[in-house]
Chain A
């Protein structure tokens, strides 16, 4: 349905998106996962025709959209990372304005506005000015505006940034329903691994402008099939101890996360007894020890040596 072909963008000689190739089939929910600055938003801007690529192409049903994005824009609903609404207008007035310029037929506009407000759960507050809304409510109107023209493809660029958990769950559930019940194709970008895990059938992982891994969740997790993920909680963490842990045979990655140390190590290695020995040598007591199921976060750590929130 929608695909990118060697999509590249460079600003002042610096390549921020490097030959990205991804595709979306009808009815799919696809995640674009990566840390801040990975190039996700730039990729989204190019896919949604707001930014011209330096090279490469964006194709809708095998047809290039670079020179003439009109057809693409008709089927595309874009939820930008920023709140792209008029603060001095009410939710209803914003939807009415954008509905009109989306050329929603007059006879349908009112019902579409009400339906969309129903989806985002803001029907009761429709007459209130956007500036009086909380961050989560603004995000919901931001999504509603992209849904007015019944898009076939919905692109959401970090739609849950900076909002409370309740609003976040509401938005995730809403996107899931749109995908599952209405058959809307979704491209969801985030640096929250758990959101992508929850919503998406397939995932692209980006870092430094490149797609470094892609596939279904199980395909990506299989990258770690020969490795164990171990979470260790010592009584203290010091540099010498960390260096010694890294030296243990079979250890691939070591990452400190708060009071815990996440270790990715080769399966079947004698990691547990070695860890206890290293702890004794450095007077470090192991308080807690847990073998974990690998997550996309672990996959990212494995691929880049960094966490998604770095």
Chain B
């Protein structure tokens, strides 16, 4: 088997054009795509968002302010001067009015459409998908919020944010509202301490995919690095099968058969060769992209452990698939037919696996099908791994890929032509 392996590696190395295509082309594509399409995940591309928020105002602001004033005058916590200042401030910018003004501000209006409506209508619109979410300002919210802030009375009312799905749009809207409340709390805290604060102009959260708790950012160049790595490994498997076709066409395979060497040595030599080449190829793409673009510079050594683990299992699966392709190629009368079929399969895998177009841009059902392909699975897994670096993420994909290895090897061996059936 080692003799076959050495021969295959030597032949690969001698074909400098092939080496260049397999190693340099994906690297070049990663660099070019990262430079040309940096905003595909939302970076520097705010206008991609068109968020719709239904606003339900059940609060009676004036009544709330009057009630707060009455309550404040009954307490002995403030001097008369302090009380007057507080009431002037509260009347000048009541919190609910501030929130509404904020939501309708020109900065937000570019990407958030706010429509005021009644509760039932808002719920219906959210359910029908016409709205991303609704925000309900409940009855007596103004009073309870002010009482909580200035009179230390426990809040009995809070804003109600409603959405059907936990989509990226919902997440963004939730963050927008939360950021206003955070700002208001900060303003109150600083004012209470005798300071002053500027009202910030809020904007769409910048850069990367929107963060959720415990998640690391995931960038476009990371995406292209993984997708090109996973894709070009597939091309490598097809290249190995094509070489088998050449060996058949040029009769070297017949000569191998005549040597009495165990038939499966040839197949396992090819499989092992594919594994070594694919592993080196993928790791070179990752390492090359890291040094050129710094794709993993925000991560520690742990991320590399997961990457190496997944690359190893994935390339084993690809090597096993190449065993199937090799056996099929040997069975075909015309090797050119095999070349065409394999290229078509790779293209389909590449498209539905998200290697050509980011999987987030694909419909949900297509994403789910895509993750059934080895390349789609490894792409989705590594994206998640980079964000969370949690080893439990790798378990199930590793099991699935291992099953693909076993099944593909079995099929490859079964399809391998028996002695004397090589013509």
In the complex, what distance in Å separates the CA atom of A296 from the CA atom of B260? 37
By a CB distance below 8 angstroms, the chain B residues around A49 are 258, 419-420
Contact A50 to B423, CB < 8 A, known contacts A78-B258, A82-B250, A84-B250: yes
Q: Which of A93-101, A184-192, A297-305 contacts B (4 or more CB under 8 A)?
A: A93-101
Is A80 a contact of B420 with CB atoms below 8 Å?
no
* CB atoms of B259 and A101 under 8 A apart: yes
From residue B225, how far is it (CB to closest CB) to chain A in Å? 31
B7 on interface, CB distance cutoff 8 Å = yes
Q: Give residues of chain B (221-263) contacting chain A, Cβ–Cβ below 8 Å.
A: 250-252, 254-261
| Contact B421–A82 (Cβ < 8 Å) | no
CB B23 to nearest CB in A, in angstroms, measures 18
A48 to B7, alpha carbons, bound, how many Å?
25
Select one of A52, A88, A97, A101 contacting B14, CB under 8 A.
Answer: A88
Q: Assuming the A-B contacts A88-B14, A93-B10, are A73 and B260 also in contact, with contact meaning beta carbons closer than 8 angstroms in the complex?
A: yes
In the assembly, what is the distance between CA of A88 and CA of B252, in Å?
Answer: 12
Hey, which chain A residues are within 8 Å of B260, CB to CB?
A: 70, 73-74, 102-103
Residue of B nearest to A148 (CB): B259
A76 close to B252 (CB less than 8 A): no
Residues 120-148 of A at the B interface (beta carbon under 8 Å): 129, 145
Task: Check B100 for interface membership: any CB of A closer than 8 A.
Answer: no
Q: Is B422 an interface residue (CB 8 A)?
A: yes
Establish whether residues B250 and A101, one from each chain, have CB atoms under 8 Å apart when the complex forms.
no
Query: Which A residues touch B15, using CB under 8 A?
Result: 88
A56-B265 Cα distance, complex, nearest whole Å: 31
Task: Check B10 against A89 for contact (C-beta < 8 Å).
Answer: yes
**For B251, what are the chain A residues with a Cβ–Cβ distance below 8 Å?**
80, 82-84
Is B33 located at the chain interface by the 8 A CB criterion?
no
Distance, CA A101 to CA B255, complexed state (A) = 10
Which chain A residues border B257 with CB–CB below 8 Å?
50
Task: Say whether B258 contacts A48, CB under 8 Å.
Answer: yes
With the chains together, A129 CA to B15 CA distance in Å? 12
A98 touches B255 (CB 8 A): yes
- Measured in the bound complex, the distance between the Cα atoms of B11 and A129 in whole Å is 11
A45 at the interface (CB under 8 A from B): yes
A69 touches B252 (CB 8 A): no
Nearest CB in chain A: distance from B127 CB, A: 65
Closest CB in chain B relative to A96 CB, distance in Å = 9
List the A residue with the shortest CB-CB distance to B419: A69
Contact A52 B255 (CB under 8 A): no
User: A51 an interface residue at 8 Å Cβ cutoff?
Assistant: yes
Cβ A86 vs Cβ B7 within 8 A: yes
B242 to chain A, nearest CB (A): 14
Contact between chains at B254 and A84 (CB < 8 Å): yes
- In the assembled complex, the CB of B78 is this many whole angstroms from the nearest CB of chain A, namely 91
Interface string of B407-423 (1 = CB under 8 A from A): 00000000000011111
Please state if B254 and A88 are interface contacts (CB–CB under 8 Å).
no
Listed residue (B10, B11, B260, B265) with the most chain A CB atoms within 10 angstroms of its CB: B260
CB distance from A245 to the nearest CB of B (A): 45
CB neighbours (8 Å) of A85 from chain B are 250, 252
Asked if A73 and B258 make an inter-chain contact with CB atoms under 8 angstroms apart, the answer reads yes
| A80-B254 contact in complex given A50-B423, A73-B260, C-beta closer than 8 Å | yes
Most chain B CB atoms below 10 A, which of A74, A86, A100, A101:
A101
Q: Is B3 an interface residue (CB 8 A)?
A: yes
Residues of A within 8 A of B420 (CB): 49-52, 69
Residues on the A chain within 8 Å of B259, using CB: 73, 98, 101-103, 149
The smallest C-beta distance from B122 to any residue of chain A, in angstroms, reads 70
Nearest-CB residue, chain B, relative to A100:
B3
Q: Mark B295-335, 1 if CB is under 8 A from A, else 0.
A: 00000000000000000000000000000000000000000
- The residue of chain B having its C-beta at the shortest distance from the C-beta of A129 within the complex is B14
8 A Cβ contacts from A20-62 to B: 45, 48-52
**What 1/0 mask marks residues of chain A from 199 to 243 whose CB sits below 8 Å from any chain B CB?**
000000000000000000000000000000000000000000000
Closest to A42 in B: B423
How many angstroms between the C-alpha atoms of A174 and B376 in the bound complex?
A: 58
Nearest chain A CB to B248's CB is how many angstroms away?
A: 11
Cα A83 to Cα B254 in complex, Å, equals 11
Interface residues of B (CB under 8 A from A): 3-4, 7, 10-11, 14-15, 250-252, 254-261, 265, 419-423
Could you list 5 A-B pairs, sorted by A, with CB under 8 Å? A52-B421, A78-B258, A85-B250, A89-B14, A103-B261
